[in-house]
Amino acid sequence: MNCPLCGKPGGEVLWQDDFCRVVLVTDTPDYPGFCRVILNRHVKEMSDLAPSDRNRLMDVVWKTEQAVRIAMNPDKINLASFGNVVPHLHWHVVPRYLDDRHFPNPIWGRPVRSAPARAMDDIGKRLRNTLQRG
């Protein structure tokens, strides 16, 4: 098996425990503050998890959503779980703005304008601090 999320963190690690991790996605410059919540072990579907583990993972998704809202002040949050390319459980937590490159389309959809410049500078630090406050 050659799974990129088993072999690598998948971004800048902001928070982790023995179950899952929150990473800042660093390869999408149009979407600063885009985070992923990644299960540490290789599991394909949410329904492969025990109910208590589903809740544990989603609690981290909710905490990440809240941290992104505080740090990024977006117009909207998009949550998504696909796993079509990498079938290892992970949730996308994407801050969206009315003037971002794809709004109102998904960020994986058709762009509708050029991307406004948004600073990436201290976003990782701000998100890390917010997540660690709990």
Q: Which residues bind Zn ion (CB under 5 A)?
A: 3, 5-6, 42, 88
Question: In whole angstroms, how close is the CB of 6 to Zn ion at the nearest point?
Answer: 3
Which residues does 56 contact at the CB level (< 8 Å), separation at least 6?
A: 19, 20
**Residue 77 tokens, joined:** 């949050």
CB atoms under 10 Å from CB of 25, counted, come to 17
Residue at shortest CB range from Zn ion: 3
Question: In whole angstroms, how close is the CB of 8 to Zn ion at the nearest point?
Answer: 10
**Residue 63 tokens, joined:** 């905490």
Q: Which is nearer to Zn ion, 3 or 112 (CB)?
A: 3
Q: Which is nearer to Zn ion, 5 or 37 (CB)?
A: 5
Question: In whole angstroms, how close is the CB of 80 to Zn ion at the nearest point?
Answer: 18
b/e sequence 89-102, b meaning 16+ C-beta within 10 Å = bbbbbbbbbeebbb
Task: Write down the residue that tokens 């630090």 correspond to.
Answer: 125
> What's the rounded Cα separation, in Å, for the pair 104 and 3?
31
Q: Which is nearer to Zn ion, 88 or 102 (CB)?
A: 88
Q: Which is nearer to Zn ion, 5 or 68 (CB)?
A: 5
Question: In whole angstroms, how close is the CB of 47 to Zn ion at the nearest point?
Answer: 17
